[in-house]
């Protein structure tokens, strides 16, 4: 299949970026990242600098393969990361526009690579359990309600890719932050620090420059792990409770 790629090129966050057009031959069984490998082989053979893009596991579990494809984070398929997207989703003759995630809190490092360390800072502000739980105990020693365990697992599925931020017109990180908060709150060990965790993580989220949630819903639609938006409402309730609770 013959494709025309419209790829964003930007030397660094200070430089002015632009789109470059490239024509390549690809196979439908290729993954999207393998197609980009083919593109870079072509560019290198022309003695030019290859397109920088981030990836690691290529199994949809690390969240690093973050890019906007034809206007949608991770491409056209629901519940799919870029590395899980295959070229059979396109047809010969298509033009594919490839851009980095665009958000103030995700500055461009180079080409399609953005700095998502703002997410790391939110986690460092409280996305952990610091209470001393002693030595590891048997997995069934602490009973956890089945519904709570299921809710915690659904929230823990978040891979921190940033698609929610890229999809949101306000650049909000509410879905990511709420998933991390509610995941821990559902577990017995996480309840102890819940109020402090909520306040600290939301404070850091605002400090990082993320926008406010206006319930557009694009975050839930584009999330490759289909994290439920119910998390945002739960986080808002928890925040109000924490503000009016003496510790």
Give domain 2-109's CATH number out of 3.40.50.150, 3.40.190.100, 3.40.50.300, 3.10.20.30. 3.10.20.30
Give domain 116-243's CATH number out of 1.10.1060.10, 3.30.70.20, 1.10.10.10, 3.40.50.300. 1.10.1060.10
- Domains 2-109 and 116-243 equal at CATH topology level: no
CA nearest neighbour of 113 among 191, 206, 204, 12: 12
pLDDT of residue 135: 75
Helix residue ranges, H only, 20-173: 32-45, 117-124, 146-156, 163-167
Parse the chain into domains and list their residue ranges.
Answer: 2-109, 116-243
Helix residue ranges, H only, the chain: 32-45, 117-124, 146-156, 163-167, 174-185, 188-191, 194-207, 218-222, 230-243
pLDDT of residue 32: 97
Q: Are 49 and 37 in contact (CB under 8 A)?
A: no
- Global confidence as pTM: 0.92
Residues 6+ apart with CB under 8 A from 191: 185
pLDDT of residue 133: 64
Higher per-residue confidence, 240 vs 137:
240
pLDDT digits (tens, 9 = 90+) for 58-101: 999 999 999 999 999 999 999 999 999 999 999 999 999 999 99
Q: How many CA atoms lie within 13 A of 118 on its CB side?
A: 28
pLDDT digits (tens, 9 = 90+) for 139-184: 677 788 899 999 999 999 999 999 999 999 999 999 999 999 999 9
Query: Quick count: other Cβ atoms within 10 Å of Cβ 48?
Result: 11
pLDDT of residue 142: 79
Distance separating alpha carbons of residues 151 and 83, to the nearest angstrom? 26
Residues 6+ apart with CB under 8 A from 155: 178, 179, 180, 182, 183, 186, 227, 231
């Amino acid at each position: 299949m013959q494709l025309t790629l419209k790829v964003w090129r930007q030397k660094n966050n200070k430089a002015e970026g632009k789109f470059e057009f490239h024509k390549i031959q690809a196979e439908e069984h290729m993954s999207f990242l393998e197609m980009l490998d083919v593109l870079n082989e072509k560019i290198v053979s022309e003695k030019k600098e290859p397109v920088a893009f981030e990836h690691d596991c290529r199994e949809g579990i690390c969240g690093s393969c973050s890019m906007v494809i034809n206007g949608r984070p991770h491409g056209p398929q629901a519940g799919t990361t870029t590395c899980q997207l295959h070229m059979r989703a396109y047809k010969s003759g298509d033009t594919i526009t490839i851009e980095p995630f665009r958000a103030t809190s995700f500055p461009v490092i180079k080409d399609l690579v953005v700095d998502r360390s703002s997410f790391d800072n939110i986690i460092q502000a409280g996305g952990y359990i610091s209470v001393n739980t002693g030595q590891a105990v048997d997995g069934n020693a602490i009973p956890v309600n089945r519904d709570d365990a299921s809710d915690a697992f659904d929230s823990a599925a978040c891979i921190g890719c940033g698609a929610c931020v890229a999809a949101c017109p306000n650049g909000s990180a509410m879905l990511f932050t709420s998933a991390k908060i509610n995941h821990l709150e559902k577990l017995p060990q996480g309840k102890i620090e819940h109020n402090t965790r909520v306040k600290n993580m939301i404070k850091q989220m605002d400090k990082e420059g993320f926008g406010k949630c206006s319930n557009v819903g694009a975050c839930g639609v584009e999330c490759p792990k289909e994290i439920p938006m119910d998390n945002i409402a739960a986080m808002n309730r928890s925040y109000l409770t924490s503000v009016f609770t003496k510790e």
